[in-house]
Amino acid sequence: MELFAVRNPGPMTTVQDLGRLAFLDRGVPLSGVLDPFSGRVANLLVGNPEEAAVLEITVMGPTLEVLAPADIALTGADMDMTINREPVRGWRTARVNPGDIIRIPRAAQGCRACLAVTGGIDVPLMMGSRSTFARAKIGGVQGRGLIKGDILHRGAGGLLSRPREFPDEWIPQYPREIALRAVPGPQDDDFRKGIDAFFGASYEVTLQADRMGCRLRGPAVQRDAGSPESIVTEPTMPGNVQVPADGQPIILLVEQTSGGYAKIATVITSDLPNVAQAMPGNTVRFERVTLEDAHRLYRKQQQQMQQISEYLKK
């Protein structure tokens, strides 16, 4: 059913779900919400499966006219949302009705928000996912971000019998100094001399940050003498920290499948949402952890998702 008429799209608002894994070997990247924690919680709040499609909103958000009743929830960056000019807090549900105007002005803290709706955003499945990959015009609303005049649909789903909220103490904070835990490698062997300095240094997030990658500026990462400037092209993963010839690291994200630069370390899955919430001017420090640490944190986060799911069912 028709749900929203887009009065103002915001600079970069796209439909995303949890991404497409099935075509990584054909040059089709993962895509999906850059902050899966926020995306999943938003869906659970409104009673959707975790993988339903949401709107991913970047820095500044849309103005939407409501066309049908639904429950909505905005998670991730704090964006001063209002419904008919009344402030509505994030990380909790709100009921909207035909004629209501939702305004999502700008991020006060963090960078990206997820807006979930009853039944999920309904766009055609493209290669198994509703995620938008704009560079190849795949998925979402005709392979692009929202524009003024778009009509968005929602899937079938029951409205909640009462509003739901995510406990305050579980809501993540998005500080300006960001710690990112990372496992060394895959090419840590090329950086034996420089890797300790890398893990101690402070890097600034530049304006060149998007869904493909987050470019950092700071002390040049030292490559070992004799190690090549580029490597044989190989698959990349979200979180890989690539070091090109100028030594300025790039955290690769979800719209790349392969690359030819050495990767000194890889941000752990649990900390990728922190990269999604980084704004230009924020600083980043990489903290070395072991694979065991990373897996322990991953397990803990999955258990937390289970707990959240059960808590919200009550």
Partner 1 sequence: MTVLYEQARIRLSGDRALLVEYGDGIDLVINEKVRAMTALLKKNLPAGVEAVVPAYRSLSILYDPLATTPAGLAEILHALEADFCAAEIAEAKVVPILVCYGGEFGPDIGVVAEHTSLQENKIVAIHASVDYPIYMIGFTPGFCYLGGLDRRLQTPRRKTPRTNMPAGSVGLAESQTGMYPVDSPGGWQIIGRTPLRLFDPARENPFLYEAGDRIRFVPIAEAEFRRLYEKAWS
Binding site for partner 1 (CB under 8 A): 21-28, 126-127, 135-139, 183-187, 232-240, 257-258, 263, 266-269, 291, 294-295, 298-299, 302
Least CB distance to partner 1 at residue 68 (A): 28
| Nearest to partner 1 of 24, 160 (CB atom) | 24
The Cα–Cα gap between 69 and 142 comes to 25
CB 62 to partner 1: min, Å: 25
- Provide the minimum distance between the beta carbon of 185 and partner 1 in the complex, in angstroms, as a whole number: 5
User: Alpha helices of the chain — where are they, by DSSP H?
Assistant: 36-46, 195-200, 272-276, 291-313
The nearest distance, CB 142 to partner 1, in angstroms, is 11
Radius of gyration of the chain measured on its C-alpha atoms: 20
Q: Which is nearer to partner 1, 30 or 79 (CB)?
A: 30
CB of 284 to partner 1, least distance (A): 16
Least CB distance to partner 1 at residue 239 (A) = 5
Residue pair 198/262 in contact (Cβ under 8 Å)? The answer is no
C-alpha span between 69 and 67 (Å, rounded): 7
Q: Which CB, 118 or 132, lies closer to partner 1? A: 132
What token pair was written down for 252? 């690769």
Name which of 125 and 159 has its Cβ closer to partner 1: 125
Side-chain-side CA neighbours of 285 within 13 Å: the count stands at 11
Distance of CA 228 to the CA centre of its chain: 32
Instruction: Specify the pairing of strand 177-184 against strand 283-288.
Output: parallel
Beta strand 250-252 with 213-217 is antiparallel
Contact 119, 156 (CB under 8 A): yes
CB nearer to partner 1: pick between 97 and 302: 302
Nearer to partner 1, 6 or 276 (CB): 276
